[in-house]
Structure 1
């Protein structure tokens, strides 16, 4: 099954991408986002950290939450300086008893938000009518 990603780019410093609710979402989105970050001329270390944070937040949305989910990237600063904000918004928990939508690999489960916290200058969640937004801000080194 091949998923297509429709992309909405409201302005040059923002990138919005609906997330397919399939296990392959992470690799599909990483490829697209790598191109966006390269076009923004982000520092290589910031871009690599951002890709890891994005991967973890997307995985959480696909494994633990209801669709739809959306990735939003925004940058502050230019030429690799400043910050990158990553947001993944989903429709909330998949089930009331915490069961995931998709099966996670048992040996690779439970460290994602720790990775996000370690790499981000700031991170958190925002609960709203449409669901939950998980966010992280990364600073250029």
Structure 2
């Protein structure tokens, strides 16, 4: 199920807003996405809340369709971003280049200041930075 972050500072550069670990694909969790995001994003503007909800939904849907569990979702506020960083991790190793941008990633690209893929020892993380509305 969805869990909340502890709000701890990581080296003074970010605050974790919320985290979730999913052992298997569970489409029902996407239905509760707005409910889970309401607590960590309680102080966000309506536009940031909407954009983060869309981005998390798109990245989780891609992970469920194209990757293998376990999955992880993390929301944080890195100082360098000036908004919310969304990270969705999975246990699949795939290239970071040559990915065709499907409709979901085009939406993420258009809503975010930046996005990308990081390889990690246990798989990969797709991240996206949603900046605060002007």
TM-score grouping bracket, smaller chain normalisation: 0.7 to 0.9
C-alpha contact 1:84 1:138 (8 A) present in aligned 2: yes
Q: How far is the alpha carbon of 1:6 from its aligned partner?
A: 4.8
Task: Measure the CA separation in 1 of the matches of 2:83 and 2:90.
Answer: 23
Equivalent of 2:107 in 105, 109, 115: 115
What TM-score comes out, normalization by structure 2 length? 0.77
What TM-score comes out, normalization by structure 1 length? 0.74
Count of residue pairs brought into register by the alignment:
117
2:98 is aligned to none
Q: Which runs of 4+ in 1 moved over 4 A?
A: none
SS in 2 for 1:24: helix
**1:52 and 2:68 correspond:** no
**1:89 and 2:54 correspond:** no
1:7-26 correspondence runs (5 A): 7-11=3-7, 13-14=15-16, 15-19=18-22, 20-26=24-30
Structure 1 gap segments, 5+ residues each: 95-109
Give the greater-gyration-radius structure (CA): 1
C-alpha contact 1:30 1:55 (8 A) present in aligned 2: no
Q: How far is the alpha carbon of 1:93 from its aligned partner?
A: 5.9
Structure 2 gap segments, 5+ residues each: 9-14, 95-101
**Which is richer in strand?**
2
RMSD (CA atoms): 2.2
